[in-house]
Structure 1
Amino acid sequence: MTQPGGLARTLSHRTMLMIGLGSALGTGLFFGSGAAIGVAGPAAVVSYALGALLIAVIGLAMAEMATARPEPGSFGAAAGRYLGEWAGFVSRWCYWAASVIALGGEVVAAGAYLTYWWPDVPLVVFVALVGLTIVATNLLSVGSFGRAEAAFSTLKVTALIAFILIGFVLVLFGAPGRAATGWGNLTEHGGFLPNGLESIWLSMAIVMFAFVGVEVIPIAAAEAENPRRSVRTAMRALVARLGLFYVVAVLLIVTLNAWTVTASAKGLEASPFVRAFDAVGIPAAAGVMNFVILVAALSTGNAQLYGAGRLVHSLAVDRLAPAFLARTNIKGAPIVATLVSALGLLLAVWLAETGVADAFTKLVSIATFSVLITWLLALASYIVFRRTGDVHGSVHLPGGAAVAGIGIAGILAVMATAFKVPDMRDAALVGGLWLLALLVGYALTRGVRRTKVTIS
């Protein structure tokens, strides 16, 4: 079935469920957890638990609005309806920017993971190959995207469960020729809070990026066969599993190795998951885990391009972006909006070619600030949505508007790390300039539209 915007409702219930399970399991966990552990030490476990609670509030609020009105633009369209057209404009362009930047980071990460096996091949070659694969998957149809994400998600979830099971065996029982690791690493090497209580807060700037991806579920509602049922099931499953997977996985990472060892890795040299297996003498498992992390980067990059393209398409449908961006192909894929959103791949290739130091970390910080603005507007929209009570969704945020208000306070606390974290400070500066540019762009867009109406 095709909608007014040209998008087709072809995502099945099972596909939506698998997209939900895998959309937020990306390099933010498999790679970024090392940076968070470097800031907070073993207490990073607490940071990820707080992050899971915050993203549950954001995800359920978005899902409630999406199931009430499963339309193109999702939370961006809701922001426009409940806060004003300017908010819908800013929300969608902010998420687009965050997705494009994150896409570049995921592609660079995927290329780096391929060098694990072929270290002599230039990184830029792998980055280009990964980028082309992601673009091709998104341009075919929403069905091809759904099938790819379902396959990626199945592998990621299976591997993560296997890692957790093997990790507990190594901690409690050990392996042939190796004694059990035990729980000593949680309190040794400076204690559970080696950098003080403040480090839990400071690490949240890194931690929250790991949860970017839950937005794909409400975005995909516009292309689901049964959006009310699929979004409800997918979001509930995602919220329940994110807390379990993230907290337990990070707990095992800081238990299998001293946190100082995990934090010593710089750039994209190694994932904490790979290092954990290397340290206990299971090199074959480390290679398998590296493959899983590669798949995670492909999956998250695939989802980022999907989300970016759909939101730009919805802006064009609402006449807040050039009309040509609303074009779709015969299978309902917004081909022009997707190609424009692939700009992140060009950024990734440039970073790989020039070898910019700590490129992934810088991309993550800027993308995080942009998505924080989107989350803020989504929760503010939700509060107005609940007060109007005109339409009811099939999934509900416990506590409603009051809990959404607590979520806003949590997001502002994460943004406040800019006063202490240099990367976040730089991201806040760039993000602030981007927000100002968007407001000016909206004013100009509105002026042009008024002029056209007057002339006609």
Structure 2
Amino acid sequence: MDQQVGAHAVEGSASTDAPASSEGSSGLTRSLGHRTMLMIGLGSALGTGLFFGSGAAIGVAGPAAVVSYALGALLIAVIGLAMAEMATARPEPGSFGAAAGRYLGEWAGYVSRWCYWAASVIALGGEVVAAGAYLQYWWPQTSRSVFVALVALAIIVINLLSVRAFGRAEVVFSTLKVTALVAFILVALVLVLFGVPGHPATGFAHLTDHGGFMPGGMESIWLSMSIVMFAFVGVEVVPITAAEADDPRRSVRTAMRALVARLGLFYVIAVGLIVTLNAWTDVASAKGLTASPFVKAFDAVGLPAAAGIMNAVILVAALSTGNAQLYGAGRLVHSLAVDRLAPRFLARTTLRGVPLAATLVSTFGLVLAIYLAQTGVADIFTKLASIAIFSVMVTWLLALASFIAFKRRGDVDGSVHLPGGRVTAAIGVGGVLAVMATAFEVDDMRQAALIGSGWVLVLLVAYLLTRAGRARARTS
């Protein structure tokens, strides 16, 4: 395939004051509409963390987990709207990473984008391993590594075809997920308020049984936040798509506002219904697909194939989230190359506007997933996942700090605004730091902080070496 290198890669980095071209100088094409961008955002953020993993947060906070998800929705709304405001002002490759380079210094743009890349590719590997397990539910005699490899290949092909093909796939995936979630909410409401033959209405007793609404006290809400916030990771993909939107200001504005509202409603309502339908102690201790509260709800209204139906939905959720994560990771690596902070060949795009090399580099998580599925070295993946958790929080902090500097500079266009501006962003910084502070009490977050801090130090050293290499190249 013929390839081209973005002109901006030659002309300078995102840390300069000159605005990056928004009309394709990076080689990317503008073909995403606002509805597609909304579905891409939902596809990335509405994943297995809700459909299958909400039990972990409920295990920490009990029924009060619904409060944790409400607070998480507010915090991610601040982060998402801050990113969107910067993206509409400058719809350029690299989005919040390029903004960090411009407003905080080139080092910040480097660290922000590589941190998000690490979080995305590792999470991508996790989604693909999960998808392999869901396929194994139907064909248990087949090796999981075979299914993992097939899912990985499907995700790679979708991302390499064109951004339009990627967007269409995400629309289909996200539509299926949202439909399943709405169906669960409707069925759960019937079971709670009215009941069905053989299953009387559960009412609201489960919210206060087994130790009360907040069995672990106020502290449990705080301690569960590290689990809750990772479930919201993915809204960042919307501002990343700004560089490939046909009308970036309108599309990012519409998509982000709708996304943060729907994510908040979906998560809070769904988790609230989960702890209303079931004793929270049962949800926290449940293992396996058939123990999923979604499966139980469909089974209660006489759907004998509930486990199979939900398995298909969770499989689609994993595919959708993994698809969007590879897209975001590839685009950020491409933007680093455009800004001369990564090897130049990673800035090349195909005639369809796909950053081929950057996307292939970002399949590292897929290769790792296939290896882990074959060898079963789960403890290594747990350590890598801790890097992902810490890395995305570093990205959020840098994005909010960039936004505060962005507002101070008055670099706005009026398309979208974070209510409260710098004050709200500062509160958001405090919120992210509060979540990171759970490392003092939660073992998994302590590990995340230790390994993640080491990763950030590695990035800072790599940046210094990159800058020194560019300086030598200029003087030679």
* Letter matched to residue 366 of structure 2: L
Determine whether 1:170 maps to 2:191: yes
Structure 1 residue 196: Cα displacement: 2.3
Counterparts of 1:305-344 in structure 2 under 5 Å?
A: 305-344=326-365
What is the CA–CA distance in structure 1 between the aligned matches of 2:144 and 2:126, rounded to whole Å?
Answer: 13
Matches within 5 A, 1:363-442: 364-442=385-463
Give the corresponding residue for 2:256.
Answer: 235
Q: Which residue of 2 aligns with 1:195?
A: 216
CA shift for structure 1 position 257: 1.4
Amino acid paired to 2:282: V
**Residue 149 of structure 2 aligns to which amino acid in structure 1?**
A
Find out whether 1:299 has 2:323 as its counterpart.
no
CA distance in 2, matches of 1:22, 1:270: 24
Q: Deviations over 1:27-48 (max 9, x none)?
A: 1211221111111111111110
Compared CA separation, residues 365 and 187, structure 1 to 2 (3 A): farther
- Whole-angstrom CA distance in 1 between matches of 2:23 and 2:444: 43
**How far did 1:280 drift?**
6.9
Rounded Cα–Cα distance in structure 2 between residues aligned with 1:292 and 1:362: 28
> Residue 402 of structure 1: CA displacement?
0.3
Indicate which of 104, 107, 115 corresponds to 1:86: 107
- The DSSP-based 3-state class of the residue aligned with 1:23 is helix
Q: Secondary structure at the residue paired with 1:143?
A: helix
* Residue number in structure 2 paired with 1:222: 243
Aligned residue number for residue 9 of structure 2: none
Q: Deviations over 1:392-430 (max 9, x none)?
A: 241100000000000000000110111111111111111
The alpha carbon displacement at 1:284 in A equals 2.2
Q: Which residue of 2 aligns with 1:262?
A: 283
Partner of residue 7, structure 2: none
* TM-score, normalised with respect to structure 2: 0.92
Please state whether the residue corresponding to 1:328 is helix, strand or coil: strand
* Closer, same or farther: CA 203–365 of 1 in aligned 2, 3 Å: farther
Q: How much has 1:275 moved relative to structure 2? A: 4.3
Counterpart-to-counterpart distance in 1, 2:195 and 2:140: 32
The residue number in structure 2 matching 1:138 is 159
| Alignment partner of 1:454 is 2:475 | yes
1:325 and 1:334 in contact (8 A); partners too: yes
Q: Which moved more, 1:350-359 or 1:108-117?
A: 350-359
**1:362 positional shift:** 5.3
Counterpart of 2:181? 160
> Does the CA contact (< 8 Å) of 1:61 and 1:397 recur in 2?
yes
1:44 is aligned to 2:65: yes
Displacement of 1:255 after TM fit? 1.5
CA RMSD of aligned residues (A): 1.8
Matched, 1:126 2:138: no
The aligned residue for residue 274 of structure 2 is 253
Q: CA deviation at 1:361?
A: 6.0
For residues 36-88 of structure 1, give each alpha carbon's deviation from its aligned partner in whole angstroms, at most 9, with x where no partner exists: 11111111111100000000000000000000000000000000000000000
Distance 1:393 1:71, change over 3 A: farther
Q: Deviation string for 1:337-373 (max 9, x for gaps)?
A: 1011000011111222222447776554431211000
d(CA) in 1 for partners of 2:448 and 2:88? Answer: 33
**Identical counterparts, % of pairs:** 78
TM-score normalised by the chain length of structure 1: 0.96
| Aligned residue pairs, count | 455
State the alpha-carbon separation in 2 of the partners of residues 273 and 129 from structure 1: 27
Closer, same or farther: CA 240–359 of 1 in aligned 2, 3 Å: farther
The answer as to whether partners of 1:267 and 1:360 remain within 8 angstroms in 2 is: no
Deviation, structure 1 residue 155? 1.1
> 2:64, 2:213 within 8 Å by CA — same for their partners in 1?
yes
2:399 aligned partner, one-letter code:
A
Gapped regions of structure 2 (runs ≥ 5): 1-21
1:186 aligns with 2:178: no
**In structure 2, what is the equivalent of residue 23 of structure 1?**
44
Cα distance, 1:113 vs structure 2: 1.7
> Quick check: 2:27–2:349 contact (8 Å CA) kept in 1?
yes
AA matched with 2:124 = L
Q: Aligned pair in 2 of structure 1 residues 168, 265: CA closer, same or farther (>3 Å)?
A: same
